[in-house]
């Protein structure tokens, strides 16, 4: 998290990027002036929509600082990593959560919805995306 | 560019003249290569030409690079072992492993560890250029043809995500793939720039280190892609040469004095390798540097009667039949 706090942030089109140690001065001014086209600067961490939405590279930074985490049995996690929603009998007091594995490593951002007899768990963005659409 | 045209024209007649006799025709039929390619292999390998062509039918072992931006290599070995993969460390690369055993499921490219960015699936020879370039943590590095990001991410790993890498990729689909791989692998010190490599002067800065892993015919990938036995014609080699020289010139001009440039291809064609780097030595006065610790053959100083600078001996060539890797060429040069 210290790396995130100390990083320089750049807003480019619809994303916010994190560049950990800052750019050298001559490059920094060229970037700010738009002297050449740029597709990305460091890690993309937020997507700008009506609000700011987290992107996958932000996930590992959040696991040690977020309370709302789910560690599910493998067969359920696998479904979520295919981008598919699941239903469980448990209910939760929160609507957004991180999916983590047994080693507390980040797997997905989740949305939780109360339904009859349980909770619908929807993967908002999961690391399976890298296989499905990452290229 | 006049220099470039004259240089290419000087050797064109010799390099692109082929003596096709019955022996060449017989070997071409036997191994399924175009005749001009066989003639070239006889020139490059002599009596080992058949051994080389036979090796192009043998599958190479799969390999991967442990990504220390996301994990440590011992943890990766243990995790993969639990999944049924057996990894063995390759002594001449810092982070490279051969995959000795694979389970039925999951595949190497669909494990959780892959998705988490713990490793990158990559040929062993492809791991050489970033380690030869060996950038320091404070360097400003240019990667001139970056997609899909294997070497870019390796550079970032060697730099500990410090310094800056400017990674160029002009093609939209390839840029998307590059950005996705960099995000997956946790590469945070890289700016991706959608311009062709020969436009790099428009960025207006000088770099400490330049990696040019150049577009090429991919002749070194014959074991991986058998269609390459008949896909590339001499005219294609000529076209690649122009692209490679143009990129090399742009790279040299963007390099600061005293900086290092590594040129590499996944090709064994002297037309795409020694001919190209010889231009850098002869016309720009770049000095080649020895590459140590890697089992490889030296660069050629003569091909089809065309002599190159003795300096080119310090470049390296890798072959499937001798080194167990994809065919590859690497040359390290210093701008004085």
Q: Are residues B213 and B74 in the same domain?
A: no
Record: contact A24-B140, CB cut-off 8 A:
yes
What confidence tens digit (pLDDT) does each residue in B170-229 have?
Answer: 999 999 999 999 999 999 999 999 999 999 999 999 999 999 999 999 999 999 899 999
Q: Are residues B178 and B224 in the same domain?
A: yes
pLDDT band of A26, cuts 50, 70, 90: confident
Q: Are residues B187 and B200 in the same domain?
A: yes
pLDDT of residue A25: 87
- Which of B74, B98, B121 lies at the terminal end of a domain, its last residue? B121
- List the structure tokens of B59: 């599958």
* Residue A2 confidence (pLDDT) above 70: no
Mean pLDDT calculated for residue range A67-93: 96
Record: contact A43-B187, CB cut-off 8 A:
yes
Record: contact B205-A27, CB cut-off 8 A:
yes
Q: Are residues B156 and B296 in the same domain?
A: yes
Its ipTM equals 0.94
CB under 8 A, 24+ apart: contacts of B289-296 = B289/B260, B289/B314, B289/B332, B289/B333, B289/B334, B290/B314, B290/B332, B291/B128, B291/B132, B291/B315, B291/B316, B291/B330, B291/B332, B293/B92, B294/B92, B294/B128, B294/B318, B295/B92, B295/B323, B296/B323, B296/B330
- Which of B121, B137, B168 lies at the terminal end of a domain, its last residue? B121
Computed over every residue of chain B, the mean pLDDT equals 96
* Residue B136 confidence (pLDDT) above 90: yes
Cα angle for residues B250, B256, B261 (degrees, 5° grid): 60
pLDDT band of A3, cuts 50, 70, 90: low
Record: contact A36-B188, CB cut-off 8 A:
no
pLDDT of residue A22: 84
Q: Are residues B164 and B177 in the same domain?
A: yes
* Residue B13 confidence (pLDDT) above 70: yes
From A101's Cα to the closest Cα of chain B, the distance in A is 10
- pTM higher than the cut 0.90: yes
pLDDT of residue A135: 62
Nearest-CB residue to A23 (from B164, B177, B187) = B164
Task: Report the number of distinct structural domains present in chain B.
Answer: 2
Q: Are residues B204 and B324 in the same domain?
A: yes
pLDDT of residue B156: 98
Residue-range definition of the domain harbouring residue B163: 125-334
Q: Are residues B76 and B186 in the same domain?
A: no
- Say which of B66, B266, B315, B331 is annotated catalytic: B266
- Measured between beta carbons, the chain A residues lying within 8 angstroms of B109 are 131
What confidence tens digit (pLDDT) does each residue in B38-61 have?
Answer: 999 999 999 999 999 999 999 999
Given 3-state DSSP classes, what are the helix, strand and coil percentages for chain B, each rounded to the nearest 5?
45, 20, 35
Distance CA(B299)–CA(B314), nearest Å, equals 6
Confirm whether B75 is domain-assigned. yes
Distance CA(A41)–CA(A7), nearest Å, equals 12
Confirm whether B258 is domain-assigned. yes
Nearest-CB residue to B162 (from A21, A39, A131) = A21
What confidence tens digit (pLDDT) does each residue in A94-115 have?
Answer: 999 999 999 999 999 999 999 9
CATH of domain A63-132: 2.30.130.10
A40 at interface of B, judged by CB pairs closer than 8 A: yes
Q: Are residues B77 and B146 in the same domain?
A: no
Q: Are residues B154 and B260 in the same domain?
A: yes
* Residue A1 confidence (pLDDT) above 70: no
| B170: helix, strand or coil | coil
pLDDT of residue B163: 96
What confidence tens digit (pLDDT) does each residue in B227-264 have?
Answer: 999 999 999 999 999 999 999 999 999 999 999 999 99
Mean pLDDT calculated for residue range A64-88: 95
pLDDT band of B4, cuts 50, 70, 90: very high
Domain range annotation of chain A: 2-55, 63-132
B56 is catalytic: no
């Amino acid at each position: 998290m210290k790396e995130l706090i100390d990083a320089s942030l750049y807003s480019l089109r619809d994303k916010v990027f994190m560049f950990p140690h800052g750019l050298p001065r001559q490059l920094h001014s060229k970037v700010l002036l738009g002297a050449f086209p740029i597709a990305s600067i460091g890690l993309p961490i937020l997507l700008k929509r009506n609000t700011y939405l987290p992107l996958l590279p932000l996930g590992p930074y959040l696991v040690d600082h977020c309370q709302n985490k789910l560690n599910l049995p493998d067969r359920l996690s696998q479904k979520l990593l295919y981008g598919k929603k699941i239903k469980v009998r448990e209910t939760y007091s929160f609507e957004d959560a991180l999916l983590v594995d047994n080693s507390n490593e980040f797997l997905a951002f989740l949305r939780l919805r109360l339904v009859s007899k349980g909770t619908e768990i929807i993967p908002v963005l999961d690391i399976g995306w890298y296989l499905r659409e990452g290229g | 560019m006049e220099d470039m045209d004259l240089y290419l024209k000087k050797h064109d007649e010799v390099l692109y003249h082929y003596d096709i006799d019955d022996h060449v025709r017989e070997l071409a039929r036997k191994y399924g290569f175009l005749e001009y390619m066989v003639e070239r292999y006889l020139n490059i390998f002599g009596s080992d030409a058949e051994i080389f062509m036979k090796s192009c039918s043998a599958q190479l072992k799969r390999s991967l690079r442990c990504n220390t931006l996301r994990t440590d290599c011992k943890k990766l070995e243990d995790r993969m072992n639990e999944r049924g993969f057996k990894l063995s460390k390759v002594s001449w690369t810092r982070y490279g492993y051969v995959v000795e055993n694979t389970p039925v499921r999951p595949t190497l490219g669909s494990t959780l560890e892959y998705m988490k960015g713990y490793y990158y699936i990559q040929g062993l020879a492809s791991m050489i250029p970033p380690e030869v370039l060996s950038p320091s943590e404070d360097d400003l590095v240019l990667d001139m043809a970056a997609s899909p990001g294997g070497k870019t991410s390796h550079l970032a790993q060697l730099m500990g995500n410090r310094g800056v890498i400017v990674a160029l990729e002009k093609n939209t689909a390839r840029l998307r793939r590059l950005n996705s791989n960099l995000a997956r692998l946790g590469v945070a010190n890289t700016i991706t720039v959608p311009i062709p490599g020969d436009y790099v002067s428009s960025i207006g800065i000088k770099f400490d280190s330049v990696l040019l892993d150049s577009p090429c015919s991919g002749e070194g990938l014959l074991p991986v892609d058998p269609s390459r036995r008949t896909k590339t014609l001499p005219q294609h080699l000529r076209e690649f040469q122009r692209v490679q020289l143009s990129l090399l010139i742009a790279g040299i001009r963007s390099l600061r004095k005293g900086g290092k440039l590594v040129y590499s291809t996944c090709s064994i064609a002297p037309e795409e390798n020694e001919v190209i780097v010889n231009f850098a030595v002869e016309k720009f006065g770049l000095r080649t540097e020895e590459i140590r610790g890697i089992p490889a053959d030296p660069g050629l100083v003569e091909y089809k009667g065309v002599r190159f600078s003795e300096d080119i001996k310090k470049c390296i060539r890798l072959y499937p039949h001798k080194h167990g890797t994809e065919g590859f060429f690497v040359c390290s040069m210093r701008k004085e």
